[in-house]
Every structure is written in structure tokens, then in C-alpha cells.
Amino acid sequence: SQTIHQWPATLVQPVGSPLSLECTVEGTSNPNLYWYRQAAGRGLQLLFYSVGIGQISSEVPQNLSASRPQDRQFILSSKKLLLSDSGFYLCAWDSSFYGYTFGSGTRLTVV
């Protein structure tokens, strides 16, 4: 069966520090992978998507970047965090049969 792992679950980082969030998928190959952010009181916003290794597309200009070094690994990064980067970050993959499957999320607080 397909599973998606996301870590860490919570993270508190100072302004200006770097960020690395990791997501891995098991049980499928060449999945489409996504990073979403859910800010407090707001809906889900698509940040990045990837249809294959090394292929990254950004939906919104921001302080973040994404990489896909392996088929089932998706990483969200920042060189210098801003207060506005705080939020709940969710990784997801999709299939025509199951639709979207989301990870458990990372709660990021930038202080």
C-alpha cells in the first residue's frame, strides 16, 4: 500500500535560520508530488509541484525552494526564514485512483 511520510512534526526556528522539510512516499513509483502551506485562518495554498526527479515548478514567488533528488523524495527548503513563513506545511502525492493523499504535516513556527 502507498504511504507518505513527513518530518519533523513540529519545528520552531529563529528568523534568518535555514529550513529543510522532508517528505518520502512508499509503494508507488514516479508520483506527482506537492508541497502545500496552510496559514492560520487561511486555506491551503499550493507552493510547489514535481512530476519527476529534478523537475520542480513553483506556484507562487516566495522565500522557499523545493528539490526532488530521488523519485520518491521531496524536500522543501529555505536559506533564511521569515516570520511570514510560519504555517502548517503539507506534502502530498496524487493518483488517478486514490486522488490526493496528504502527509501528517509539519507545524513551523518562526520566532
Partner 1 sequence: KQEVTQIPAALSVPEGENLVLNCSFTDSAIYNLQWFRQDPGKGLTSLLLIQSSQREQTSGRLNASLDKSSGRSTLYIAASQPGDSATYLCAVGAYAGGTSYGKLTFGQGTILTVHP
CB of 87 to partner 1, least distance (A): 12
Cβ-based nearer residue to partner 1, 12 or 98: 98
CB of 63 to partner 1, least distance (A): 22
Contacts with partner 1, residue ranges (CB under 8 A) = 6, 32, 34, 43-44, 46, 49, 51, 57, 88, 90, 92, 94, 98-105, 107
Cβ-based nearer residue to partner 1, 15 or 43: 43
CB of 90 to partner 1, least distance (A): 6
Please give the Cα distance from 88 to 44 (Å, whole number): 9
Cβ-based nearer residue to partner 1, 22 or 102: 102
